[in-house]
Amino acid sequence: MSRAFVKEGDDDGRIEQLPDRPQSPHTNYVTPNGLKSLQARVTELSVRRADLLQQQSLQSCQELSVVERDLRYYEERLQRAVPVGARGAADGRVRFGDTVKVRDGAGRERRFSIVGEDEADAPQGRISWVSPLATALLQAESGDLVTWHRPAGDEELEILGIAGVDGE
């Protein structure tokens, strides 16, 4: 029997460390809720890691590698987090953390909240501050027309209103 594909003497119970998940090159701005979410994720992964360290199965060792990689990622995201609180004196311009009400060319009204990269959830209207849509909206004022550069073609949006992320 050929032993060409058998690993010998190299399996001493060590867990293979997965490569780190890539970090965004952008500043990690976060809303207060985004900061809480990052903290909760680190806590959740730390608890899961402790549980897996108590187990001795192959499956737990494999899962431990994933959990440790994710924990390293979220600890770095948390370390690099730059919290942005509620806006102070409003100057009428769209800022990080704001919710913006817009009307598109077809007359549909939509709301988008500009949040950190880790908080983004497009179906919920929560868009990353580095997205093309947020880039178009940032610094605009109520009544402005902005152009959203999309792969499907540019779309003009009218800014109808601006509020803090919690409706302020």
The tens digit of pLDDT for each residue in 115-131 reads 999 999 999 999 999 99
**Spans of the chain, pLDDT less than 50:** 6, 8-10, 12, 167-168
Secondary structure string (H, E, C) spanning 5-61: CCCCCCCCCCCCCCCCCCCCCCCEEECHHHHHHHHHHHHHHHHHHHHHHHCCCHHHH
The pairing of beta strand 81-83 with beta strand 28-30: parallel
The tens digit of pLDDT for each residue in 20-49 reads 898 999 999 999 999 999 999 999 999 999
What's the pLDDT at 156?
96
Query: pTM score, two decimals?
Result: 0.79
